[in-house]
Structure 1
Amino acid sequence: MKKIIVVAGLLLTMGFHASAEGYQVNLQSTKQAGMAHVGAALKLGAESMHFNPAGLSFMKENISLSAGASAVFTDLEYSKDGYKHNSDNPIGTPFYLYAGFKIYDNLAAGVSVNTPYGSSIDWGVNWAGSRLVQDITLKSFSIQPTISYRPFEKLSLGAGLMFMYGNFSLSRVLIPAGDLESLRPFAAAVPSLGQTLDNFKDIDAASATLSGDAGVKVGFNIGAMYDITDKITVGVSYRSKVKMRVPEGHAEMNYANETELKQMIATVNPLLIAYKKNPIVIPPLDKGTFSAELPLPSNLNVAVSYQATDRLLLSGEVQFVGWSAYKALNVQFSQEVLNGYSINAPKNYENTRIYRLGGQFAATERLDLRLGAYLDESPVPGEFLNPETPSMNKMGLSTGLSFRPLERLSVDLAFTYVTGFGRDGSYPYVSNDQVKAFGGHYDVKALNPSFGISYAF
């Protein structure tokens, strides 16, 4: 019989997944969501603070206000050899608030609040991959004061400071369903053991939930925009990498039946030792704290827009995402009793690109219509594909509209459909002193309706 050692590997693959690739969320404007989220070469008023702060000084009004939110409905499916399991993810709700102010004709400032990173996946308990992940949630918030200056009529520059804050939680099984079956030979010597093993055969016996808050970190967002002609504008923006750090995270232990499990362990451990097998050990993760770091990747956006007619505006954009910053996850437990569970888990994410194309058509003086499409590359290498980051190349199709019941008031709606191209992969893990692989096929779909409102005066 193989020995059973329950280790603190629940952090080994920690990462995050969202409707965008990796754990980045691209839903920072309802208007731009309808155009596949292009914006680095567009003059968007207050909303330019996120897409390209240089665009802020092109605002025509003295004050520009914008607010909105999206609902992210995602469905992940894992399948292998006839087995299928779907996630039951909570609805994500990224939001944004922008306020821009013209100081002089060529100088503007403002502040933005949005959620550029986040994720939520819930695979549930007692599923085939629970030893890798049960559920995971990441939330982040950004506050960005911004200034934009136009030194020449056609050229504008902009910069902002990003104050980032976030938190996360992760649940993962320590003793998955059926993992105690290797103790079945001892049932003859301990009659009560058979019933206990039957009770834990189809349920996760023990799991842990880790959570923590990241302190405020600072990054920057800079950009430039230039009107080549009256119809063609180019723009470039750069949002820096921000390394978030959880200085003091906490763990909570969860049991299907704590009393029964611990009584069984107390009974079988002497037998395991007598047969020169390692005893069952559940790490006391809830007796200490841990620290961890997670990088929020840099983004370089290069774009061009073309005013094809008085009513038709087109824009294309390439977004370069610096995922290679995520080389490894380092988790350090602070208490001496948990030093042996500190880990360094390689990630080796790769830089990616997002290709975007969007258009806007002024159907009437009060109604604008929008369409867009994008292709988002996966940053996760095949050898690191797992249900906690079931990353794959994705395509998004979007549409939207703006209706102005009043001249200065805009009501915005958008809808984005995201589909993954499917991906096969496996991830190694250790069970009963053996290296095994959890593999299979993953698919993902997402629906993202958005609502926003903006007012300028």
Structure 2
Amino acid sequence: MKKTLSLVAILAAGTSQAAGFQVDTHSARATGAGGAATAWLEDSSSIYYNVANMVGVKKLDITLGDTGILPSITFQRPNMEAEGQRTTLSPPPHLFVVYKPFEKAAFGVGVFTPYGARSRWEEGFSGRFRGYESSLATYYINPSFAYELHPRFRFGAGLDIARATIELTRGLDFVNSEGSVHLGGADWGSGFNIGVQAKLLDNLDMGLHYRSAIDIAFQGQADFQNIPVEFQSRLTDQKAHADVVLPSTVTAGLAYRPLNNLLLAFDASWVDWSTFSELAIRFENPSIDNPLPKRWRAKWKYSLGGEYGVTDALQVRLGFTYDPSPSPNNTLTPDLPDANRFKVSVGAGYQFKPFRADLGYQFVALADKESTAPGMPGTYSGNAHVLGLTLGFNLQ
């Protein structure tokens, strides 16, 4: 089995909005409904949620927005005080454009960040030799096409072009002194996404969307600082590399309209985190490599949401999500803290044609997760506040 994720895994540091280091809030409208949008969302942000639904755009649709993710995570070792991370705001932006020149065909492009996180533990953190400060960002450019094969069936496909960047600072323990290593790197990768949407009944729709895994071969530089003389011949500034697989996802959804102004939706999403078998940085000097087992597991995420039209212009939304951690307890360490996530979302949208504005808020509760990892046992917990704003323009 291919060993994957290495350098990126260190950088995610568990402060992403979703489990692992996934970010799934790329439309404030969808965020307000708990992310359950695969079967029904028909504006240009459907490029992320289900590319087949681009055909629902009338002529031209543009969405532009940002999501502020403010996480708080703590780690408590047995019989010790809890330690936390410094407040760090992550603002992944999103931009989608769809143009429909023909009655049954639509073209579009999206720019978004489906994976990423920032982390910075407090000064003197006891786990600083596993991970102290980190940043990961993946930028996807997603040109797409969708076609209505039948009034009740749509199909869409797109190309994922990914640019990933990383930064990491980690402490080094020399018993009588401390040093540090800073790592940075970047690379490109590519994949694809496909989706279908079907009208099962007049008031019941089904959606299915797949986004492929993407291989990233990071090439970076390791900068060692405050290294004692006796180690300087070994710990010199040098190149470092790592192979990474950003996981594939499959999402199935249903959308039911019991009333003309009421939508109820459910999504089940499978994320293949099983490609993350170990955490390993490969240095130019192989004698300092120190791979660590991770053995993450593929997981299902479940979302339930609704949208109610108070008036033709005003909509309100509510959603709930269960997003389990892919990490086993015996490999859970501070370089990648994680926990099962329970999310509650609310949102509202207002249309003043041809413009619209959507606001979505999500509270993320990280359930206590006990680590039994050798040398770093303890309990991880925390929460996150997520606030998304998306502005839209629609030309009929």
* Counterpart Cα distance in 1 of 2:298 and 2:209: 17
Answer yes or no: is 1:221 the counterpart of 2:189: no
SS of the residue corresponding to residue 146 of structure 1 reads strand
1:423 — aligned with what? Answer: 369
Choose the corresponding residue for 1:95, options 93, 108, 117. Answer: 93
2:392 — aligned with what? Answer: 454
Residue 282 (structure 1) shift: 5.2
Choose the corresponding residue for 1:62, options 43, 59, 62. Answer: 59
2:215 — aligned with what? Answer: 243
Contact 1:12 1:345 in 2 (8 A): no
* Counterpart Cα distance in 2 of 1:90 and 1:302: 33
Answer yes or no: is 1:167 the counterpart of 2:140: no
Residue 364 (structure 1) shift: 1.1
Contact 1:292 1:329 in 2 (8 A): no
Choose the corresponding residue for 1:51, options 44, 49, 52. Answer: 49
* Counterpart Cα distance in 1 of 2:87 and 2:215: 26
Residue 327 (structure 1) shift: 1.8
* Counterpart Cα distance in 2 of 1:118 and 1:231: 37
The letter for the 2-side match of 1:356 is: S
Taking the TM superposition and a 5 Å limit, the aligned residue runs for 1:244-263 are 244-247=216-219, 249-255=220-226, 262=228
Please give the per-residue CA displacement for 1:58-108, whole angstroms capped at 9, x wherever unaligned: 22x210100110111001111121322110142001111000011211110
Answer yes or no: is 1:323 the counterpart of 2:273: yes
Please give the per-residue CA displacement for 1:104-152, whole angstroms capped at 9, x wherever unaligned: 1111010000011001111134221111111111011000000001111
* Counterpart Cα distance in 2 of 1:79 and 1:422: 10
Contiguous gaps of at least 5 residues in structure 2: 1-5
* Counterpart Cα distance in 2 of 1:157 and 1:395: 32
1:387 — aligned with what? Answer: 334
SS of the residue corresponding to residue 259 of structure 2 reads coil
* Counterpart Cα distance in 2 of 1:84 and 1:365: 49
Residue 348 (structure 1) shift: 1.2
* Counterpart Cα distance in 2 of 1:79 and 1:47: 40
* Counterpart Cα distance in 2 of 1:143 and 1:84: 40
Deviates more, 1:20-29 or 1:121-130: 121-130
Answer yes or no: is 1:292 the counterpart of 2:242: yes
Contact 1:73 1:448 in 2 (8 A): yes
TM-score between the two structures when normalised by the length of structure 1: 0.81
SS of the residue corresponding to residue 54 of structure 1 reads helix
* Counterpart Cα distance in 1 of 2:242 and 2:338: 22
Change (3 A) 1:419 1:283: farther
The letter for the 1-side match of 2:365 is: T
Change (3 A) 1:285 1:102: farther
Please give the per-residue CA displacement for 1:262-312, whole angstroms capped at 9, x wherever unaligned: 4xx5xxxxxxxxxxxxxx535754431011012111110000000110110
Taking the TM superposition and a 5 Å limit, the aligned residue runs for 1:126-137 are 126-137=124-135
Deviates more, 1:406-415 or 1:154-163: 406-415
Contiguous gaps of at least 5 residues in structure 1: 1-9, 181-199, 266-279, 429-436
* Counterpart Cα distance in 1 of 2:134 and 2:168: 4
* Counterpart Cα distance in 1 of 2:354 and 2:317: 19
Change (3 A) 1:92 1:283: farther
The letter for the 2-side match of 1:422 is: D
Contact 2:11 2:167 in 1 (8 A): no
Residue 365 (structure 1) shift: 1.5
SS of the residue corresponding to residue 340 of structure 1 reads helix
1:409 — aligned with what? Answer: 355
The letter for the 2-side match of 1:211 is: G
* Counterpart Cα distance in 2 of 1:384 and 1:424: 11
Taking the TM superposition and a 5 Å limit, the aligned residue runs for 1:296-445 are 296-334=246-284, 338-404=285-351, 406-428=352-374, 437-445=375-383
Residue 426 (structure 1) shift: 3.4
Q: Which has the higher strand share?
A: 2
2:23 — aligned with what? Answer: 25
Contact 1:372 1:397 in 2 (8 A): yes
SS of the residue corresponding to residue 133 of structure 1 reads coil
Answer yes or no: is 1:234 the counterpart of 2:206: yes
Please give the per-residue CA displacement for 1:45-70, whole angstroms capped at 9, x wherever unaligned: 211111111111122x2101001101
Residue 329 (structure 1) shift: 3.5
* Counterpart Cα distance in 2 of 1:43 and 1:70: 18
* Counterpart Cα distance in 2 of 1:312 and 1:327: 44
The letter for the 2-side match of 1:206 is: G
1:210 — aligned with what? Answer: 183
Q: Which has the higher helix share?
A: 1
Taking the TM superposition and a 5 Å limit, the aligned residue runs for 1:50-199 are 50-59=48-57, 61-80=58-77, 81-175=79-173, 179-180=175-176
Q: Quick one: percent identity of the two aligned structures?
A: 24
The letter for the 2-side match of 1:77 is: T
* Counterpart Cα distance in 2 of 1:309 and 1:149: 28
* Counterpart Cα distance in 2 of 1:283 and 1:209: 17
* Counterpart Cα distance in 1 of 2:233 and 2:282: 14
* Counterpart Cα distance in 1 of 2:225 and 2:271: 37
- Higher Rg: 1
TM-score between the two structures when normalised by the length of structure 2: 0.94
Contact 1:294 1:329 in 2 (8 A): no
Contact 1:53 1:223 in 2 (8 A): yes
* Counterpart Cα distance in 2 of 1:231 and 1:93: 36
* Counterpart Cα distance in 2 of 1:157 and 1:370: 27
* Counterpart Cα distance in 2 of 1:285 and 1:245: 23
Deviates more, 1:371-380 or 1:325-334: 325-334
Change (3 A) 1:283 1:319: farther
1:42 — aligned with what? Answer: 40
Contact 1:293 1:329 in 2 (8 A): no
* Counterpart Cα distance in 2 of 1:417 and 1:250: 37
